[in-house]
Amino acid sequence: MAGDQRHRAQLAADMKRLEKQLRRLCQDRLRSADAKRLRVLDLACGECFEAEMLQRVLRQLAEENHGREQSLDVEFVGADIREREISRAAERCGAGRQGVDYRFLVKDGQKLSQDADLEEDFDVVFVRHQNYYLGGKEWHELFEQSLDKLAPEGKLVITSYFDHEHELAKGAIEKVGGDLIEDIANREARALATKGKHVDKRLAMFRRRE
Ligand SMILES: C[S@@+](CC[C@H](N)C(=O)[O-])C[C@H]1O[C@@H](n2cnc3c(N)ncnc32)[C@H](O)[C@@H]1O
């Protein structure tokens, strides 16, 4: 298989594994505050390869949990501080179709509360491969802002590359006002070249402490 093709196949397999773990973690736990729309913020999303899978899975889980026949629409916002990644995500996903609206925004996750663009409450804030090792203080702020952006029954979901980094992020989230709901290990996660680093190795879900 050529390099490019192999890379695409790996990404697709990573996505299937992430989907399986999200179903495990989020089943029976998601509700949309609005009767018609599920609002998802994918923060620090980079190129946001998970956008399509994430909106589809979260929408299904929320619909099942509501026990409704009618479908929910999804308002999906992907945000990252890097412009290049956001324009690639926007190019790949487009504006959305079949009940999903995508918006990709260049945002500093430490300054969301100052942002008129992101006023709405989100049912899910998702942070994939948080980077606590690269700046703990910055991530404390980003997690605090993520919790602030949640609707009253909203959930913050994170994934991590490393066990230890995951523990640090969990501690940080609890410190800034999150309550851990569940923490799971992805035993099928793909190992990367760096020792101990795996794609979506750990996942955790939090609610905002009242
Ligand atoms: C390890 S990467 C993960 C990217 C993507 N979620 C993924 O799983 O491939 C961490 C991401 O955090 C973003 N980031 C770092 N600081 C940020 C901030 N203050 N606001 C928004 N995004 C930030 C980086 O630009 C980068 O895309």
What are the extents of the domains in the chain? 3-208
pLDDT mean over 138-143:
95
Radius of gyration from C-alpha coordinates of the chain: 16
Q: Is the CB of 108 under 6 A from ligand 1?
A: yes
pLDDT mean over 83-98:
92
Please state the CATH superfamily assignment of the domain spanning residues 3-208 in this structure. Answer: Vaccinia Virus protein VP39 (3.40.50.150)
Confidence (pLDDT) at 1: 61
Confidence (pLDDT) at 114: 81
Confidence (pLDDT) at 167: 98
207, containing H or E segment = strand 202-208
- Which pLDDT band holds residue 136 (cuts at 50, 70, 90)? confident
- Check if the beta carbon of residue 130 is closer than 8 Å to that of residue 169: yes
* DSSP letters spanning 21-90: HHHHHHTTT---SSSSEEEEEEET-TT-TTHHHHHHHHHHHHHHHHT-SSPPEEEEEEEES-HHHHHHHH
The tokens describing 165, both together, are 């980094």
pLDDT mean over 84-88:
98
Q: Is the CB of 81 under 6 A from ligand 1?
A: yes
Task: Tell me the CA–centroid distance for residue 105 and ligand 1, in Å.
Answer: 13
Q: Which residue's CA is the closest to the ligand 1 atom numbered 24?
A: 44
Task: Tell me the CA–centroid distance for residue 198 and ligand 1, in Å.
Answer: 17
Q: Is the CB of 85 under 6 A from ligand 1?
A: yes
Task: Tell me the CA–centroid distance for residue 109 and ligand 1, in Å.
Answer: 9
Confidence (pLDDT) at 68: 65
pLDDT over 90 percentage in the chain: 86
* Residue 132 in this model has a pLDDT that exceeds 70: yes
Q: Is the CB of 145 under 6 A from ligand 1?
A: no
How far CA 67 is from CA of 54, 60, 149, 209, in Å, comes to 20, 10, 25, 26
Q: Is the CB of 129 under 6 A from ligand 1?
A: yes
- Give the predicted TM-score (pTM) of the model: 0.96
Q: Is the CB of 142 under 6 A from ligand 1?
A: yes
Tell which residue, 108, 117, 114, 129, has the closest CA to residue 47: 129
